[in-house]
Structure 1
Amino acid sequence: MNLASIDMNLLVAFDAIAKERNVTLAANAIGLSQPAMSNALSRLRKIFNDPLFVRTTRGMQPTPYAEQLSEPISRACDLISGALRIGTKFDPAASPRKVFTLYMTEIGEIVCMPRVLHHLNRIAPNITIKVCPIPEKGAQEAMAAGEVDLAIGIFPQLKAGFFQQRLYRDQFVCIARRGHPTIDGKLSHTQYVESPHVVVGSTGTGHDVALEQIRCSQQPHRKVVLTVPHFMVLPTIVTQTDAIATIPSRLATTPEMSPNLQILEPPVQFPDLEIRQHWHERYHHDAANKWLRELMVELFRE
């Protein structure tokens, strides 16, 4: 198929239908009338010799061929749109209501979000942040599809097609309750090995995987008595038991931490954690996404 023979406006129409799954909504999204969008779909069907989108009770569902075309066409439209916006500025104060969606761990929410919201309240009251849990699978696809603007944390799987920028470093510390029968101010290697540990189960991403990889390479015989899905419950459990836990230092020093906890230097050598922001190449030149990235750098980069 000769690319020169295809009207680029038809690809924009295709992308709108693929996203909206409704001809009328797609027409509204790109400023066409409903008859004009129907005509565009008819022309697309002739060009590709395929129905492309079939009307069902769940809306206009793509054919297998349309599903193959959807991602590359969407990416091409975004890249062209982004190129045309190069040099434009995003004014957060004058912008209509804008929602940014982020991937972030619960640690990132506690460490970063209070400062971000305080800043937005002063300079960009129309900006809303939506934090989504990090999925075990599909993060790359969601970001490539434009469902998520930024991923902040530890994302070793985001490589090809992604940019990244370091924001800050963190270290691991150990916590134990005050009044612990054997630990008081210091933690020896023997105490670390012999004490019961509460740990976070691996979800395939984030601080938990980093900690587990480091731990397995250095001390595989730790006594684990409880595995939980989130870091935030560890302090509560530790304050009420003789178990200890290993957590990022920035979490250990937040105001929410109990005064009944000891923060201890680990006897095991843990490398620093590098917390980075990641974004898909389709948003590299997007003015709003660039503004958000610059805000994160301003607030958190060391």
Structure 2
Amino acid sequence: MNLSSLDLNLLLVLHTVLEEKSVAKAAASLHVTSSAVSNALGRLRGLLGDPLLVRHGRGLVPTRKAIELAPRLRAALEELQGALEGAAAPFVPAQTDRMFALACSDNDQLARVPRIAAAFSARMPRATLRIVSIDQLEATDGLASGQVDAVIAPIEAAGPGLHAAELYRDEAVMVVRRDHPKVGKRLSKQAFNELGHVDIWLSIEGPGVGHRFIEGFLQRNGLRRSVSLIVPGFAAAAMAAATTDLIAGLPRLVAEALAQHLPLRIVELPVAPPPFQMHLLWHERTHADEGARFFRELVLGAMRTNQPFKPR
């Protein structure tokens, strides 16, 4: 029998009649009329090709088929009831052992994930935080598929079915090796246009929306990049700039963090760039999930404790 053609309420009726051994008592238990129970039994008899219950004296006795079905029905309904009660159970952060996945670039992995991880382990000590790359997110369509709970990205990356909340603002700076022979305290337009650049493509598909944002700014201000090297992350770009004469553009916060560990200098762009706003994005399918909502609030709280962006 195809379950799609079966009204599952009929099985609940049969289970109740078998337990109560009476149509009237089953009707009272189910808060329906006796005729409704009788009609349901009639439909089941036709579907299963068996009388299921037959009159004996003043009561009903089950057929062999009904006797065989009874324990299976009871187990199935109890399991379903348990699943529904479990699904409705309140989310307890300190007790959950769920895995939560956050997608972000290595910029945020370097500069912000440690703060998120500290808050995560303090509030959900038994849970697991998984960080995935933007490439992994795109390869699996992670937000829509449910494999990723949230992503840190520009609002321009938000598509249909996505929600967004503001996270932080940052701005672009350039990094060069500490003893770069052609870059002084400031980076001139001429040097910017003539020197080789390290470009960053977070996705195998090519430049993303953040890349297009900065390219538009450069073009409007007479700046152009001669790209000599393309890397998949900000740390690789910084390492290349620290060991060659190439220059690289990075968000200020991660540039400041990396300059503490690499022989790098931070220099301003020839024209002050506008700050860019990053958001936390998540899918409609997890919008109402209590655990996912707690995780998003945790990320938002951890990120917003960073020092506010101060324009030059």
User: What is the TM-score when the length of structure 2 is the normalising length?
Assistant: 0.63
- 1:97-176 matches, within 5 Å, as 97-135=97-135, 138=138, 141-154=141-154, 156-176=156-176
Give 3-state SS (helix, strand or coil) of 1:276's partner. Answer: strand
Q: Which residue of 1 aligns with 2:265?
A: 262
Q: Cα 1:260–1:215, aligned 2, differ >3 Å: closer, same or farther?
A: same
Q: Is the CA contact 1:154–1:205 (under 8 Å) kept in the aligned structure 2?
A: no
Determine the structure 1 residue equivalent to 2:299: 296
- Indicate the residue corresponding to 1:49 in structure 2: none
In 2, distance between residues paired with 1:244 and 1:8?
A: 67
Query: Residue 147 of structure 1 aligns to a residue in which SS?
Result: coil
Partner of 1:59: none
After TM superposition, the structure 1 stretch with the greater mean CA deviation from structure 2, 143-152 or 247-256, is 247-256
SS where residue 193 of structure 1 aligns?
helix
SS of equivalent residue, structure 2 residue 296 = helix
1:205/1:127 CA distance change after superposition, 3 Å: farther
For normalisation by structure 1, the TM-score amounts to 0.65
Task: List structure 1 segments (4+ residues) > 6 angstroms apart after TM superposition.
Answer: none
Is the 8 Å Cα contact of residues 242 and 262 (structure 2) preserved in structure 1?
no
Q: Which has the larger radius of gyration?
A: 2
Letter in 1 for 2:228: V
Q: 2:18 maps to what in 1?
A: none
CA contact (8 A) 1:165 1:276 kept: yes
Distance change (3 Å), C-alpha of 1:260 and 1:278: same
RMSD: 3.1
Conserved in 1, the CA contact under 8 Å of 2:178 and 2:263?
yes
**Change over 3 Å in CA distance of 1:293–1:267 after alignment to 2:** same
Which digits, 9 at most, give the CA deviation of each residue in 1:181-234, with x for residues without a partner? 122221122221122212123634364444344434544632222222222112
The reply to whether residue 94 of structure 1 matches residue 76 of structure 2 is no
* Higher deviation after alignment, 270-279 or 211-220: 211-220
How many residues in Structure 1 have an aligned counterpart in Structure 2? Answer: 224
Give the counterpart letter for 2:143 in structure 1: M
Q: Is the 8 A contact 1:177 1:260 kept in 2?
A: yes
C-alpha deviation, 1:260, in angstroms: 2.0
Unaligned runs of 5+ in 1: 10-45, 47-80
Q: Which amino acid is the alignment partner of residue 258 of structure 1?
A: H
Matched position secondary structure for 1:179: coil
Letter in 2 for 1:108: D
**Deviation at residue 279 of structure 1 after TM alignment:** 0.8
Q: Write out per-residue CA displacement over residues 133-153 of structure 1, whole angstroms, 9 at most, x where no aligned residue.
A: 223885794322212111112
Alignment correspondent of 1:70: none
For residues 136 and 219 of structure 1, the distance between their equivalents in structure 2, rounded to whole angstroms, comes to: 35
Match of 1:241 in 2: 244
CA contact (8 A) 1:198 1:224 kept: yes
**Which of 224, 227, 231 in structure 2 is aligned with 1:224?**
227
Q: Percent same amino acid at aligned positions?
A: 28
Q: 1:164 to 1:8 in 2, by over 3 A?
A: farther
Other structure's SS at 1:252 match:
helix
8 Å contact kept, 1:195–1:243: yes
Aligned match of 2:189: 189
